Amino acid sequence: MEFSHIFNSRGANIIAFFALLFTFSTSSAQNDIASTSSVESESLQELEKENGLDINNFILHHIADAHEFHFFGEGENWKGIYFPIILLTDQGLVTFSAKNFQLDHDGVVVVEKNGQRFVRYHNKIYYASEEAEHGSFLSMTTNEKGEHVVSNAKPWDFSITKNVFTILLSIAALCFIFISVANSYKKREGKAPKGLQSLIEPIIIFVRDDIAKPNLGYKYERYMPYLLTVFFFIWFNNMFGLVPFFPGGANVTGNIAVTMVLASITLLITLFSGNKAYWGHIFRPNVPWWLYPLMIPVEIIGVFTKPIALMIRLFANITAGHILVLALISLIFVFESVAVAPASILFVLFISLIELLVAFIQAFIFTILSALFIGMAIEEHH
């Protein structure tokens, strides 16, 4: 197989894919995962109250997106990297450093820029209300579920966050790797692979022979650029997420905004690749005509449930792994006992090793299911 054809024939599609992913992620980077807040048991919550700890918020804070990388320390001893805040307001573009919020996660620090006032609350940025008293810059209301929510308006937030930075980092890494490998194939045409080329080629062959060909048939080359891109993108970001410190530590594939974009691209490719047999199966199913009012809506719903399953599966598996590791580490502080530390650390090491395998498996599952859905859309009618 001519690998240089894979790297170069669809390069523009790969770049467009990353551009779309980055654009959506910047506008949705603040999506948190509050739905996971019920993971703790009642007994653990009781221990938290006794010890003055809030493990729930601790875990959610570390797996959620943020405007800075935190290395160590708290308060004045805080050490890390601040990212730029980029806000699109009614009065134009406003930019400043996240350091202006002084890492206050309670939303009581107001930043004034260009005659406008902004406040951050749970890593989301709002327009500050007009009250001058300390801590009263947010207007809270109660929703139908009885939960307190912020009623302040929000500007369009295109800030660089941990997830956005890691996405850019993975893009740079992938571009460097694949451009280098493509150039190696050009310079060493007909020769045995060498260096980085010999490391990447088995993985490319795996994606081609075990994912693309079985599901896409003879049309597999048309979709190889996307399958390779999504496989390596998910795998690299899963691995970055396992690094506890900079440049890792971001929960990119555990952000449902990112997984939704990936699943949406698979959906669009599937829809635009669909042939007559595919659309005929949806709008003219092989059932008696009087069942059409039932079957056609079911088939249409099925078109969208497939990418939704892709989105949730990747998001949930990666997020669950991070929560489990953080929960095991938190046991040391919950029980306030050195005796718990060895068992906790051993379990964390064990789960971390499993996470290395899960990082690859989730990239494989997302890619093979994407190939399967596309293959179903282009399958020839017999």
Q: What secondary structure does DSSP assign to 317-372, as a single string?
A: HHHHHHHHHHHHHHHHHHHT-TTHHHHHHHHHHHHHHHHHHHHHHHHHHHHHHHHH
- Show Cβ contacts of residue 308 under 8 Å, excluding neighbours closer than 6 positions: 263
**Which pLDDT value is given to residue 48?**
46
Residue 221 φ then ψ, to 5°: -60, -30
Q: Is residue 20 part of a domain?
A: yes
Q: What is the mean pLDDT of residues 358-377?
A: 94
Which is higher by pLDDT, 365 or 82?
365
332 has a pLDDT exceeding 50: yes
Task: Answer yes or no: is 48 within a domain.
Answer: no
Q: Is the pLDDT of residue 38 over 90?
A: no
Q: How confident is the model at residue 206 (pLDDT cuts 50, 70, 90)?
A: very high
Is residue 265 one of the residues assigned to a domain? yes
In this prediction, residues 35-52 reach a mean pLDDT of: 42
Whether residues 209 and 131 share a domain: the answer is no
Residue 241 lies in a domain: yes
Domain housing 150 = 82-158
pLDDT bin (cut points 50, 70, 90) of residue 108 is low
- For the chain, the farthest-separated pair of C-alpha atoms sits apart, in whole angstroms, at 73
Mean pLDDT value across residues 168-176: 91
The C-alpha angle 254, 258, 261, rounded to 5 degrees, equals: 145
Q: What is the mean pLDDT of residues 145-159?
A: 82
Closest CA to 21 of 174, 153, 154, 151: 174
326 and 195 share one domain: yes
> What is the Cα–Cα distance from 301 to 239, expressed in whole angstroms?
34
Same domain, 198 and 137: no
Q: What is the pLDDT of residue 75?
A: 65
Cα–Cα dist 251/123, whole Å = 15
144 and 170 in a single domain? The answer is no
pLDDT for the residue 16? 44
> Do 186 and 291 fall within a single domain?
yes
* pLDDT confidence of residue 235: 94
Between 57 and 367, the more confident residue is 367
Pairing of strands 140-142, 110-113: unpaired
pLDDT band at 204 (very low <50, low <70, confident <90, very high): very high
Q: What is the chain's mean pLDDT, rounded?
A: 79
- pLDDT score of 11 more than 60: no
Cβ partners under 8 Å of residue 163, min gap 6: 25, 29, 65, 250, 251, 252, 255, 258
Q: How confident is the model at residue 231 (pLDDT cuts 50, 70, 90)?
A: very high
Co-location of 209 and 355 in the same domain: yes
Domain match, 110 and 188 both: no
| pLDDT band (50, 70, 90) for residue 20 | very low
8-12, 82-86, 323-327, 328-332: which range is least confident on average?
8-12
Together in a domain, 136 and 168 = no
- Evaluate whether residue 245 is within a structural domain: yes
Q: Which residue has the higher pLDDT, 51 or 40?
A: 51
Q: Is it the case that residue 96 has pLDDT exceeding 80?
A: yes
pLDDT of residue 3: 53
Same domain, 361 and 342: yes
The answer as to whether 9 is a domain residue is yes
Q: What is the mean pLDDT of residues 336-360?
A: 87
Q: What's the whole-number mean pLDDT along residues 281-301?
A: 88
Both tokens of residue 167?
Answer: 């996405």
265 lies in the same domain as 316: yes
Per-range mean pLDDT, top range of 265-274, 330-339, 372-381: 265-274
Q: How confident is the model at residue 76 (pLDDT cuts 50, 70, 90)?
A: low
174 and 151 fall within a common domain: no
Query: Is there a domain that residue 35 lies in?
Result: no
Query: What pLDDT shows up at residue 245?
Result: 67
State how far the Cα of 346 lies from the Cα of 350, in Å rounded to an integer.
Answer: 6
Measured CA to CA, the distance from residue 239 to residue 371 in angstroms comes to 23
pLDDT > 90 fraction of the chain, expressed in percent and rounded = 27
206 token code pair: 């795996």
Q: Could you give phi then psi for residue 70, rounded to 5 degrees? A: -100, 120
For 23-37, 41-55, 112-126, 208-222, which range has the lowest pLDDT when averaged over its residues? 23-37
Last residue of a domain, one of 105, 127, 158: 158
Which helix (H) or strand (E) is 300 found in, with range? Answer: helix 292-335
For residue 325, what are the CA distances in angstroms to 47, 60, 168? 19, 12, 26
Phi and psi at 252, nearest 5°, equal -65, -55
Burial state string for 240-276 with b = 16 or more CB within 10 A and e = fewer than 16: bbbeeeeebbbbbbbbbbbbbbbbbbbbebbeebbee
Distance (Å, whole) CA 219 – CA 116: 55
- pLDDT at position 311: 94
* Structure confidence at residue 381 as a pLDDT band (50, 70, 90): low
Sign of the torsion formed by the C-alpha atoms of 133, 135, 136 and 138: positive
DSSP H helical ranges for 188-291: 196-206, 213-216, 220-240, 256-273, 276-283
How many Å apart are CA 279 and CA 324, to the nearest integer? 43
Task: Specify whether 152 is located in the same domain as 21.
Answer: no
Lowest-pLDDT range, 27-41, 123-137, 299-313? 27-41
Highest-confidence segment of 37-46, 90-99, 128-137, 200-209: 200-209
Task: Identify whether 152 is part of a domain.
Answer: yes
Number of domains observed in the structure of the chain: 2
Distance CA 41, CA 232 (A): 36
Query: Distance (Å, rounded) from C-alpha 173 to C-alpha 176?
Result: 5
Q: What is the pLDDT of residue 8?
A: 46
Name the pLDDT band for 136 (thresholds 50, 70, 90).
Answer: low
Task: Determine the average pLDDT of the residues in 368-382.
Answer: 88
Residue written as tokens 């051993």?
346
- Among 106, 128, 158, where does a domain finish? 158
Taking the C-alpha atoms of residue 105 and residue 85, their distance in angstroms, rounded to an integer, is: 15
Residue type, 65: D
Of 134, 158, 182, which closes a domain? 158
